[in-house]
Amino acid sequence: MKILRTPDERFEKLPGYDFAPHYTEVPDSEGGRLRIHFVDEGPRDADPILCLHGQPTWSYLYRKMIPVFTAAGHRVLAPDFAGFGRSDKPSQREDYSYARHVDWMSAWLESLGLEKLTLVCQDWGGLIGLRLVARHPDRFARVVAANTGLPDGTGIPEEAGPAMRKLYDSLPVVSVDELFEKFQAKDGPPGFFYWRKFCAETPELRISEIVAGAGGRGIPGELAAAYDAPFPDETYKAGARQFPSLVPIFPDDPAIPDNRKAWEILRSFEKPFLTAFSDGDPVTRGAEKRFQNEVPGARGQAHTTIRGAGHFLQEDKGEELASVVCDFIERTR
C-alpha cells in the first residue's frame, strides 16, 4: 500500500499540545510497516491510562485530560490510529478495514508490553478499543466508555439489509449544517446514514468544521488549524472518509461476527466498567444502557453524565471527564 506521512512542521506550536512524539512500527498486513504515533506522559512505572480517539480527530483531542492524569500520578498513552494525527496514512480507502485497525492497534499494544491498563474510549476509540479488551482481557484493569458503542447488528433482521442499503443509496449528500440537523431529527432516515454518505462523498471533508458542528458551536481558528493539521490536503483523508463506512450498520456487514464474539467476552468481563456519556450527543445517545445492562463489571458503578458536552466531550469538558476517570481509578484500585 502507498503510505503518506504528514510533515512534522504541521504539528509545531499547536495550542495546548507540547507533548513529545513517540513512534513504533507495526506490520501493515501487506508485507510493509506502518508508523504509529503516540503520546506517552507521566511516570513509566505507573499503571497506564490508554486514551483512544475517534473519527475524524486524533490524540490532540485528549490534550486537556493528559495534564490532569499526570498530575494525579498516572502514566497516560494516547496513540493516533493509522490514517490520523501523526501516524502514517494509507492513501486509499480500500486500505482501511475494521479488522485491520484492530490488528494494527493490537500489534502496537503488544509491542509496548502494556498491562494493567485503564481504557478511556470515545467514538471509534470504543469500536477498536473494546475489541482490544476482548482480545487481550488480561491486559486491562478497567474501562471507561464515553460516547461510544460496539455495534453488532442486534435488533436488525437480516431480511432488512437490502431495503436499508437501498435507502442509504438514495440519500443526498447534505451540507455540514444539515448533517447535524439530521442527527437531531425525530423521523426520517437515521442521521448516521447521512453522516456515512457525507464523509464518503462530499468533495471536501473539512475536519475542523465537523468538530465544531458536533459541539454545536464554532471553535477558535487556532484550534481549527490543530484539528486540520494532520491533513495537508484531501489525499491524506482516506481514513477519515472511510471510517464511517466501516461501522457495521447493515446486518450482513463483515465486522458483525467479530463484534458479536467481542460482546460474548464483554458479557463475562467482571473488571470495573464505567460509562461517562455526555448529555448532548445525538450520535451515541442511549448506547450506555447496553453496557450497563450487559457488562458484569458495570453493575453497581457510579455511571455519570457529563453535562453541557457534545459528541467530542473531551474537547467540551475534558478536565471534568479526566477527573471522573481519576476518581474511578481510585475507587476501584
Q: Write out the catalytic residue numbers.
A: 123, 281, 311
User: Which alpha helices (H) appear in the chain, and where do they start and end?
Assistant: 66-71, 98-112, 124-135, 161-170, 176-184, 191-201, 207-214, 221-228, 238-246, 256-266, 288-294, 313-331
CA distance 247 to 87: 21
Return the C-alpha cell found at 328.
474511578
CA distance 201 to 197: 6
Backbone angles phi, psi at 74, to 5 degrees: -95, 150
What are residue 74's DSSP bridge partners?
Answer: none
Q: What b/e readout covers 163-198, taking b as 16+ CB neighbours within 10 angstroms?
A: ebeeebeebeebebeebbebbeeeeeeebbbbbbbb
Taking the chain, what is the end-to-end CA distance rounded to the nearest angstrom? 44
CA distance 285 to 220: 27
Q: Which residue has the cell 471534568?
A: 320
Return the C-alpha cell found at 330.
481510585
Q: What is the CB-side half-sphere exposure of residue 142 using CA atoms within 13 A?
A: 21
Return the C-alpha cell found at 312.
467530542
CA distance 131 to 259: 7
Q: List Cα–Cα distances, 71 to 64, 75, 204, 322, 325, in angstroms.
A: 12, 10, 40, 11, 13
